[in-house]
Structure 1
């Protein structure tokens, strides 16, 4: 029996922040995958190695975690105000779908360097030495991201001494600004409230209600208090990911939060929308030992945050969730703001499983509605491998 041979597709494997993904130029994809649809989704799933009932992605580029099961498609921007259009696809590990409902904040830091290195930015704007500002149109959520990409001798500088908790080795710093980061065109607080009483089944929490801040900034996120769930906020991955009951409880909270936010009509729909919303729990500062053995002292942070992505506790913090944290912290009265001690603030340092991260946001109240002008953080990015990925020619 004859078998269809493999095809090869130009691609770059990159780390951005605490995530990794396979980057493509739109023009390099097979014609059928250059437009949204089943062919594109099937191609990306085969590249990553999904769906995989073993949840290892051995036969693909994925790393069997939500942080490493990611794809990016880039093209010259159709907008004269932007350099590059950035489309992000979160590939499910054990299920056959690609979630296009949100952005990846960590990989956003790699988009600017990729765009410069792959001819998507006007060469006349790139200095011999210095920094080039890359304006990115985030297609999934229709928002602007600005990357400050360091340049040395006309090339992207990737090495440096910037350290990021959750990433083992230092690299060059890439500041990233998320402009007006409310997801889509909706309000930052979909319910109109800074804190809601979120109704959940009684087996999730005694009494059947949880205090929750439901925010649409960076990525839709459901924030709850750690103490209401019996946690301290100092938990590491194994404490949550090794507890099937805990994971099921968080997924139930996420599903009910999604309904409350108007993202889905029924909790049953949450299973096909795993990337959004995120669910996170917050607590006041406390000492703990991070996953790398680093001691995090309460005086070095403003609050504790633990967040789940694609059904598992994240090893550090998703970049888009960090935007949500910065935005919520900037608005007095949210659960995030209260965990940080309350009051007006334009930046916070939060503790996560791998260490800590400082993020900032500017919030303003305009005609009775909260607006986040921009949220900022520093990340790093690096090319890990470039060349071609190969997949069977009948994969899509």
Structure 2
């Protein structure tokens, strides 16, 4: 019997925000994996350790959560006035597919750092000390993102005293600007795909709920916590340990995706797990975060809980934070109403791990809401670099 040898692929394992992922330079991948298709997906699945019926990803780099089952492919940008092209792949844990339908806002914080350290940013644009502005073209959603990366003695500064709820240790602050984060209409319509700030979402055998559908950062379905039987203070175990609740959320998400125009048939949601996200909001309340930190009612403007890849997220996805900030800035959305209503340019929301502040600039132009940019701070750090190994038969 013959056995396939393993091949080595240069890679870097990085934390960005509250996520971790395996980063590749596009031209370091095997030639057949440098373009979209079966070979690329097979390699990334094997790197992460999917599909895994045990849902542990023991035989790969994944951490068996949506936050740690991620891959990034970077290249010098093909777009004018940009430094790096950023392609994100969300790897399913138990199914054999990679979802390319959206961005990862958390890992965006690591994209700038990787690009600088790996020669994807022109040396003339990197200061000896100060802030390097990295212009990122997000390939999945065709949007521009700006990362402001601190530089010390010509090198990316990773350590610092910036604290981010959901991340154990402090690090250097990286400010991220998502420019024009609303959807342009290519995939599901305008920022509000139904044309309404609030719709009624009818889900057979489950109920009818007020919902805000928004395409900003990432397509997201917002519901009121109380309408679906929650308080908004829930931690992961309250939902992730309830199989019936997860099934119910997935059914609601599927019908919401159809109403947003993202899918034509409910069955398509099963192979589009990354988008849309589903989240529920409530007015601010006191609760104890997953780390044991007491969050008071005064610490936030509202509470948000969001699901990613079928499970309640331990903190908040960066792209969903953009959706939250955008929706909060527009009077009349469920997010805005939960935060007290009115006009605002920033919101601090409570999530299972603590709180997060995100800003957004929204204006009403010709009867349509436009968001110029959303801003938040994250951090990033290289955890390991070298090579990943995968069996050669991944190339077949």
Same fold, TM-score > 0.5, yes or no: yes
**TM-score by structure 2 length?**
0.98
Secondary structure at 2:256's aligned position in 1? helix
| Contact 1:142–1:184 (8 Å) recurs in 2 | no
Deviations 1:263-314 (A, max 9, x none): 0011111001000000000000000000000000011100000000000000
Indicate the residue corresponding to 1:127 in structure 2.
127
String of CA shifts for 1:82-116, please: whole Å, max 9, x gaps: 00000000000000000000000000000000000
User: What is the alpha-carbon distance in structure 1 between the residues aligned to residue 295 and residue 264 of structure 2?
Assistant: 41
Superposed, which structure 2 residues align to 1:217-366 within 5 Å?
Answer: 217-366=216-365
> Structure 2 unaligned runs (5+)?
none
Residue 201, structure 1, aligned to residue 204, structure 2: yes
1:106 maps onto 2:69 in alignment: no
Contact preservation (8 Å) 1:141, 1:184: no
Aligned residue for 2:44, secondary structure, equals helix
Could you tell me how far apart the structure 2 residues matched to 1:253 and 1:225 are? 13
8 Å Cα contact 2:331/2:341 also seen in 1: yes
Contact 1:143 1:184 in 2 (8 A): no
- Give the conservation status (yes or no) of the 8 Å contact 1:234–1:286: yes
Q: In terms of mean alpha carbon deviation, does 288-297 or 178-187 score higher?
A: 178-187
Give distance in 2, aligned partners of 1:226 and 1:116: 42
Q: CA deviation at 1:191?
A: 0.0
- Tell me what 1:139 maps to: 139
Cα distance in 2 for residues equivalent to 1:78 and 1:140: 14
| 1:184 Cα offset (Å) | 4.7
Aligned to 1:118: 118
RMSD between superposed Cα atoms in Å: 0.6
The match for 1:189 is: 192
Offset at residue 183 of structure 1 (A): 3.1
Q: Is the 8 A contact 2:89 2:100 kept in 1?
A: yes
Contact in 2 for aligned 1:128/1:153 (Cα 8 Å): yes
Contact 2:184 2:191 in 1 (8 A): no
CA contact (8 A) 2:26 2:73 kept: yes
CA offset digits 1:236-287 (Å, max 9, x no partner): 0000000011101110110011000000011111001000000000000000
In the aligned structure 1, how far is the partner of 2:210 from the partner of 2:266? 19
Contact 1:288 1:297 in 2 (8 A): yes
Distance, in Å, in 2 between the alignment partners of 1:44 and 1:183 is: 27
Matches of 1:104 and 1:339 in 2, distance apart? Answer: 25
Distance 2:148 2:274 in 1: 27
Match of 2:88 in 1: 88
Query: After the TM superposition, which residues 1-40 of structure 1 pair with which residues of structure 2 at under 5 Å, given as runs?
Result: 1-40=1-40
In structure 2, how many angstroms separate the alpha carbons of the residues matched to 1:10 and 1:381? 19
User: In 2, distance between residues paired with 1:155 and 1:344?
Assistant: 40
Please give the alpha-carbon distance, in whole angstroms, between the structure 2 residues aligned to 1:319 and 1:280: 13
Q: Runs of 4 or more off by more than 4 Å in structure 1? A: none
Secondary structure of 1:63 counterpart? coil
DSSP-derived class of the 1:162 partner = coil
Q: Determine whether 1:374 maps to 2:373.
A: yes
Separation in 1, partners of 2:182, 2:62: 29
C-alpha distance in 1, partners of 2:256/2:366? 26
Cα deviation digits, residues 145-185 of structure 1 (max 9, x gap): 00000000000000000000000000000000000011353
Deviations 1:180-230 (A, max 9, x none): 01135331000000000011123x2xxx21000000000000000000011
**Residue in 1 that maps onto 2:160:** 160
Pair 1:275–1:184, CA change in 2 (3 A): farther
Q: Partners of 1:73 and 1:104 in 2: how far apart?
A: 12
Aligned partner of residue 245 in structure 1, secondary structure: helix
Using the size of structure 1 for normalisation, the TM-score is: 0.98
What is the distance in 2 between the residues matched to 1:331 and 1:150? 32
